[in-house]
Structure 1
Amino acid sequence: MLDERAANLLRVILSNRLVTLKQLEQQTNCSRRQVQYDLQKINNWLGEQKLPLIVNKRAHGLMIEEEIRRFVPKVFEFEPNTYAPSHEERITMILVLTFLKKEYLSLNHLTQVLRISRNTALSYVKLANSAANQFGLQIEYSRRNGYYFSGNELDIRHLLLKRLANFIQNPNGIKLLKEIFQESEEVISFQSHYEKIYSSLICIEKELNVTFVEEKMMELATFFTFLFERVKRSSFSLFPGHIEDALENTDFLNVAMIFLERLEITLPPDEIMYISMQLMGLNIRYHHELFQKENDGELHKVLDEIVNEFEKLACVTFANREQAIQSLYMHIRPAYYRMVFNIPISNPYLSRIKKEYFDLFILVKKSLKRLEEYVKVPISEDEIGYIALHFGSFLKSQGLPIRRKRAIIVCPNGIGTSNMLKSQLEKLIPEIEITKIISLREYDFGKESEIDVVFSTVFIQTNVPLIVINPILSAIDKARIIQEVDIILHGSGSIHPNINSLLQVIKLFSTVHDEEGLSRAIADILVGTIAEKIGRYKPVLNELLTSEMLQLEERVDSWEEAISLAAKPLLETQAIDQEYINAMIQNVIDLGPYIVMAPNVAIPHARPEQGVKKLGMSLLRLKSPVCFSSTNPDKKANIIIVLAAVDSETHLKALSQLTELLEEESNIAHLIAANTVEDMLPVIMKYSHKEKE
């Protein structure tokens, strides 16, 4: 029997053609001892299945026989009587059982379903109650009713929808849900109920002439499977009057009625409205006609302002602005309804998005303030994470190379995630052409001869070389992909030197004070050598705004002089040439004083090809402000910061930190009041943090 951690390790191993123990530590967040312990468990299990063992070959990594790759996916199935649910799985199972409860839900019932002791079950009920508290709910107990939810019904459903969205991402999530469903409903199987709902959602796609995001359809079909059982047993008053009015004025109310007719389900008006609300919140992969709807004119205007704000904050210009807005609209429209109706969305990639694209996340978050004003509710970080991917895909798509080896991406996620993945792979492996992005349902086995490689975020059976990838690529992921492509296309992969051998050689010529730390550092270099070449280093704010780049002056005669003087340190260090200064001045003449981005602060810039030689930033402080407009006296600045960007990404970390600094008026006042360059440095240093890589 494999527990969850060992089973997950085996999946990771099978997703790699060549992997080291160090890479497994990083991909699973486990210690070396845990990896070795679980590897022994896996080999014991493989032995029981009469399969070859996984061997750790020095200077190569783990060797996995093809027989294992062919056989394991077929037998690597969930077994209800032997599988031990994880900590989080047990909490969700209790919440689902409480939501679905047919009659009396007792502690004995929980111990039987979860296969745990009474004391352990009690401790998990407390944990489940803590999870419910986050939604303003309580799990209560009475001798008459057993365990039940206390609180607003909409909040109860929001809780379950959020938990299910995360739960079905787990390899055994659906299988555990089947087991729970059968405990409560002996007549209809989970699978038949789920498939009927999912098929009806596909019919709704055709009815609306749209394509829903497959991953979100699966989440909603799973949720509806449990919801319809709950509403059989109770009736609920769900909506205040103003929300009913908003729902009645949409086409989705009729769509919800058609959807329920296909399922042969009769529900009261409140529940029909609830179903329509959920359908409105489904993400759409693509639908050109929907973008042209006239009644969304106000939302289009908001999106235009958001893109404007992002371009200003990031100091970039989208090559195809209308396409950027249109793509953003595909996500924002359903997200708008989710915000208005408080429908939760779960973003399983949020932590990775914030880790890998922290600067982009921060800038997008700031750009979305206008949308928050429009919907009159705060935007969750889950939503911001998805929207950040849309912006990221456009930042990364700068031209396409010539015809190469062909590959496709199989991704059940939304268009933002898919496009970001496509953009990253195109830069990472230029020898391969990504011909299209498809969902699992769209994969055509009959056309496998037309492609050379399949990249997929989930495991699929295919005769074409398959590389399983994460939706959000870390530096380690990128290095592994390059290595796997080399193996598949060229029959070779880079073999790393042995870490211990290098360590011994170093010890011969020096004194090692921290052997474990040095070992980790060597491993990081060996594993990250390729990754280092992939993305340029992104300097922090104080690495650009050094004392040499800061100037203090009393006043200037014109805004043109202010820009020229502010750019002087960059010109002297040959970061830019005179053409760039001329371009910045011309931009203000052509576009107006858009560079005044905060009170008393202007950030002039132009395009990289207009005279930038290397990344740089300089700052000029004026005691007397200079005005950048002859008609608007508010467009004045004491602080002029010149940005010289070499591309659309390398400057983002420093720029996001500068944005944080400028949000505090006290910081701006401090810079204006500074008597020396040294007075400015502490404020700049305060926001120059490196930990958020």
Structure 2
Amino acid sequence: MQLDERSTILLKEILLMPGVRVSDLQKKLDISRYQVNYSLSKIDDWLSSNQMPQLQKGRQTGIFVDQVVQETFPQLVKEATTPHDFIISDIERQRLIILLLLIREEPFSLFHLSSALKVSRNTVLNDLKGVASIVHSSKLQVKYTRKDGYYIEGNELDKRKIIIKLVHQMLQTPNGKYWFMEILGISEEEIVGIRQRLEKIEKRLKVRFTDEKLEELPITLSFVIRRIKQRKTLGTYYHDLLNTEEYKAVDELLLDQDKFDEKELLFITLQLLTSNVSSVEEQVQKGISGLIDGIVKMLNSFEQLACIHFQDKDDLVNKIYLHLKPAYYRIKYKLTVENPLLDSLLEEHGELHHLIKKSISPLEEVFGLEIPENESAFLTMMIGSWLLRQGEEISRRKMAIVVCPNGNSVSKLLFESLRGLFPEIVFLDYTSLRDFITYPLEYDIVFSTTFLRTDKKLFLVKPLLSNDEKYRLKVRVHQELNGYNPTNINLDELINLIEQNTPIRDIAGLKKSLQEFFREKQSNIVIPEQGNLKPSLQEVMRETNILIGYKAKTWQEAVQIASLPLLNSMSITPNYVNTMIEMFEHQEPYIVIAPRVAIPHARPEDGVNHLSMSLLKLDEDVDFGGYPIRIFIVIAAIDRSTHLRALMQLNDLLSEESNIHKILEATLKQEILSLLEEYSK
């Protein structure tokens, strides 16, 4: 018996999130309760046919798989299934048709396509309608003549772009690689050969491609080489790539090929330049003029907007450069790929992403192009993970590593998210799947986004975790490591069990001690509150925090006056005020966020007790580093993220000069409060 595609996806979801409920699976996969239960029944039958324990289901506990299934699942799928055991979806079949037509060496009729895909001619005819729609978005057309059969017409560069896109998409699906070999005729030997040459190029360039890219490149290059051999030539000449190290390394890739035209060598060079890397042995910062300065300006702008200060900024600049170098070539030559985590990221980190988008104009000036949403999302992941960093000492606690093949920015975000979620665990590193095999340090736990074999405790996770998923993972890890779940212990039953084995002198005293013990253990498991946790601008800047009709001789005095409401409410300490003044006395006045407006602030650890903001409107301007300032807005943030919603609303308010004019002209606090209310919706 074989497992169908939907049931396979369902089983993987259960493996990733033990304790998931039927309602969760309905919502996740957008299917009915009946369909979920039907697939669960098929999974049980499939497990039984492979002599495996069936799913464990409970109304309170959710759905679990036995440990032996988790350990053997990857091998079971590999041994028990072939590409034809899965029912390929319509969209996947349409993508394969496009690739078939782009690498064909002879005319393809309806019969050829039907035979290759093992479906009826009517199915192929319906698929061709979908194919026409897909290629149309890439400025291509599906054509048919009796002499040439079905073929795709259009610019050669557009054809190669769609090849790159479809290879990426197909490798995200179950058995995508096998479809390439089974239907498109790519051999394992060919893929392995190109991969080995890419690994030699890695050594020559002193970089390591991500696992994901090292899987995609051999297949993409195989298709490209086929088209070159069919004399499907490019009209585009990437002359600005001639002096790159990647161009010099292309010969390594084409040792057994006939001599290719320089245009083709440059196109293959572009594939290397646009490939994400997970690490470099030597940071070679050349080839993209002004990129380092652009990154620094972007980070300074973000610090101003978000009221935060990056630690180890030079390291962060290098990390972003590592990501942006290939991104630059992807954006410049319109080769960007989909970011599968974009929707989740916008849902979980919308405010942070908003501020990143408002900060990237220095990079867009360097690129000379607008940075698309899918690329800016990777920046949000990287900067978000950096903000999650906390100091931590190595101790006798459990040691863990994170395995993620999705690239540097995604891996870093997951690593820092897990560190914040499990402060009791020491997270040593995040690594690719290849490097995991030879990882040199001792560890106890592996958090991984993909199935792998290890004798250590393994927890499967998603690259981007929602609050609910974080909570489920927290409870699950606590259960696995400590043998119990402190949120679900019946003390009366526990005492009764103890009493059966030994006399108890003071039952009430024992129960109180157990309550204290488990309360301490439970304190580290925080159940996320429902709803929006981030307060609005109106909520953090109340009427008592607004001051109008004051005068100050210096900007330092103005900061002290503006801080008075926050000092009176004990939201900040006097040290916070002193630190704000000291921090900006000898620096550029980048707290000047808009004409005549300054937002002094310091770090949470400098003396913030409660999230709050205050606003001072002076009767006359004071000089701040050559800038005339009349409005001072003190921001006191308790952490790196809770204030972002209010800050985003404040940025939107101050971006309109008419609003600044309204504040300057206001004679009553209510006039300013009405403006705050308008932008807090």
TM-score normalized by the length of structure 2: 0.87
Between the aligned partners of 1:552 and 1:144, the Cα distance in structure 2 is 83
Q: Over residues 199-242 of structure 1, what are the superposed CA-to-partner deviations in whole Å (9 max), with x where a residue is unaligned?
A: 111010111122222212222222112222222213313324xx
Partner of 1:433: 426
Match of 1:91 among 84, 90, 94: 94
2:184 match: secondary structure: helix
Q: Is the 8 A contact 1:395 1:648 kept in 2?
A: yes
> Is 1:605–2:597 an aligned residue pair?
no
> Is 1:642–2:634 an aligned residue pair?
yes
Partner of 2:37: 36
> Is 1:542–2:542 an aligned residue pair?
no
Task: Give, in angstroms, the shift of residue 105 of structure 1.
Answer: 2.9
Partner of 1:560: 556
The change in CA–CA distance for 1:149 and 1:497 in structure 2 (over 3 A counts) is farther
The change in CA–CA distance for 1:76 and 1:374 in structure 2 (over 3 A counts) is same
Partner of 2:83: 80
Task: Give, in angstroms, the shift of residue 149 of structure 1.
Answer: 2.8
1:617 match: secondary structure: strand
Letter in 2 for 1:566: A
Letter in 1 for 2:57: N
Task: Give, in angstroms, the shift of residue 396 of structure 1.
Answer: 1.0
Query: Structure 2 regions of 5+ residues with no counterpart?
Result: 491-521
Partner of 1:206: 203
Partner of 1:586: 582
Partner of 1:569: 565
Letter in 1 for 2:655: E
Task: Give, in angstroms, the shift of residue 566 of structure 1.
Answer: 2.9
The change in CA–CA distance for 1:659 and 1:57 in structure 2 (over 3 A counts) is same
1:378 match: secondary structure: coil
Q: Over residues 19-75 of structure 1, what are the superposed CA-to-partner deviations in whole Å (9 max), with x where a residue is unaligned?
A: 433444455455544322321232233344454432313433324334534554333
Partner of 1:61: 62
Q: Is the 8 A contact 1:285 1:415 kept in 2?
A: yes
Q: Is the 8 A contact 1:158 1:344 kept in 2?
A: no
The change in CA–CA distance for 1:299 and 1:81 in structure 2 (over 3 A counts) is closer
Between the aligned partners of 1:140 and 1:543, the Cα distance in structure 2 is 61
TM-score normalized by the length of structure 1: 0.85
1:499-514 matched pairs, under 5 angstroms: none
Q: Over residues 152-204 of structure 1, what are the superposed CA-to-partner deviations in whole Å (9 max), with x where a residue is unaligned?
A: 2222222221232232122222122222312xxxxxx4322111111111010
Between the aligned partners of 2:216 and 2:658, the Cα distance in structure 1 is 46
Between the aligned partners of 2:109 and 2:673, the Cα distance in structure 1 is 63
Letter in 2 for 1:543: E
Match of 1:104 among 82, 104, 107: 107
Between the aligned partners of 1:90 and 1:550, the Cα distance in structure 2 is 62
After the TM superposition, which of the residue ranges 662-671 and 7-16 deviates more from structure 2?
662-671
1:76 match: secondary structure: helix
Match of 1:258 among 234, 237, 252: 252
Q: Is the 8 A contact 1:453 1:465 kept in 2?
A: yes
The change in CA–CA distance for 1:600 and 1:201 in structure 2 (over 3 A counts) is same
CA RMSD of aligned residues (A): 3.0
Match of 2:193 among 196, 208, 211: 196
Between the aligned partners of 1:264 and 1:32, the Cα distance in structure 2 is 55
Partner of 2:223: 226
1:567 match: secondary structure: helix
Task: Give, in angstroms, the shift of residue 574 of structure 1.
Answer: 1.7
Letter in 2 for 1:20: R
Between the aligned partners of 2:117 and 2:676, the Cα distance in structure 1 is 54
Between the aligned partners of 1:322 and 1:295, the Cα distance in structure 2 is 19
Between the aligned partners of 2:632 and 2:159, the Cα distance in structure 1 is 52
> Is 1:45–2:41 an aligned residue pair?
no
Q: Is the 8 A contact 2:290 2:366 kept in 1?
A: no
Between the aligned partners of 1:125 and 1:497, the Cα distance in structure 2 is 59
1:136 match: secondary structure: coil
Between the aligned partners of 1:124 and 1:663, the Cα distance in structure 2 is 49
Q: Is the 8 A contact 2:15 2:64 kept in 1?
A: no
Partner of 1:282: 275
After the TM superposition, which of the residue ranges 642-651 and 531-540 deviates more from structure 2?
531-540
Letter in 2 for 1:260: L
> Is 1:12–2:7 an aligned residue pair?
no
The change in CA–CA distance for 1:623 and 1:33 in structure 2 (over 3 A counts) is farther
Q: Over residues 622-649 of structure 1, what are the superposed CA-to-partner deviations in whole Å (9 max), with x where a residue is unaligned?
A: 57544423xx3xx234443211012222
Aligned residues: 645
Between the aligned partners of 1:654 and 1:588, the Cα distance in structure 2 is 23
Match of 1:412 among 389, 405, 425: 405
Query: Structure 1 regions of 5+ residues with no counterpart?
Result: 183-188, 499-525
Partner of 1:661: 653
Match of 2:484 among 466, 488, 492: 492
After the TM superposition, which of the residue ranges 196-205 and 573-582 deviates more from structure 2?
573-582
2:254 match: secondary structure: helix
Letter in 1 for 2:210: V
1:305-324 matched pairs, under 5 angstroms: 305-324=297-316
The change in CA–CA distance for 1:63 and 1:219 in structure 2 (over 3 A counts) is closer
Match of 1:248 among 225, 242, 253: 242
The change in CA–CA distance for 1:75 and 1:566 in structure 2 (over 3 A counts) is same
Q: Is the 8 A contact 1:456 1:467 kept in 2?
A: yes
1:648 match: secondary structure: coil
Q: Is the 8 A contact 1:657 1:688 kept in 2?
A: yes
Between the aligned partners of 2:323 and 2:4, the Cα distance in structure 1 is 38
Letter in 1 for 2:561: L
Between the aligned partners of 1:363 and 1:479, the Cα distance in structure 2 is 27
Letter in 2 for 1:163: L
Task: Give, in angstroms, the shift of residue 371 of structure 1.
Answer: 0.8
The change in CA–CA distance for 1:304 and 1:143 in structure 2 (over 3 A counts) is same
The change in CA–CA distance for 1:395 and 1:203 in structure 2 (over 3 A counts) is same
Between the aligned partners of 2:539 and 2:277, the Cα distance in structure 1 is 42
Match of 2:391 among 391, 399, 407: 399
Q: Over residues 507-557 of structure 1, what are the superposed CA-to-partner deviations in whole Å (9 max), with x where a residue is unaligned?
A: xxxxxxxxxxxxxxxxxxx9x984418999322323223344334448654
The change in CA–CA distance for 1:123 and 1:251 in structure 2 (over 3 A counts) is same
Q: Is the 8 A contact 1:59 1:497 kept in 2?
A: no
Letter in 2 for 1:392: G
The change in CA–CA distance for 1:495 and 1:397 in structure 2 (over 3 A counts) is closer
Between the aligned partners of 2:303 and 2:325, the Cα distance in structure 1 is 21
Task: Give, in angstroms, the shift of residue 456 of structure 1.
Answer: 0.8
Q: Is the 8 A contact 1:577 1:612 kept in 2?
A: yes
After the TM superposition, which of the residue ranges 4-13 and 36-45 deviates more from structure 2?
36-45
Q: Over residues 83-118 of structure 1, what are the superposed CA-to-partner deviations in whole Å (9 max), with x where a residue is unaligned?
A: 212243233223222322322233343444444444
Between the aligned partners of 1:142 and 1:195, the Cα distance in structure 2 is 37
Partner of 1:515: none
2:484 match: secondary structure: coil
Between the aligned partners of 1:484 and 1:125, the Cα distance in structure 2 is 46
> Is 1:452–2:444 an aligned residue pair?
yes
> Is 1:139–2:142 an aligned residue pair?
yes
The change in CA–CA distance for 1:70 and 1:466 in structure 2 (over 3 A counts) is closer
2:142 match: secondary structure: strand
Between the aligned partners of 2:597 and 2:542, the Cα distance in structure 1 is 18
1:378-393 matched pairs, under 5 angstroms: 378-393=370-385
Between the aligned partners of 1:537 and 1:232, the Cα distance in structure 2 is 58
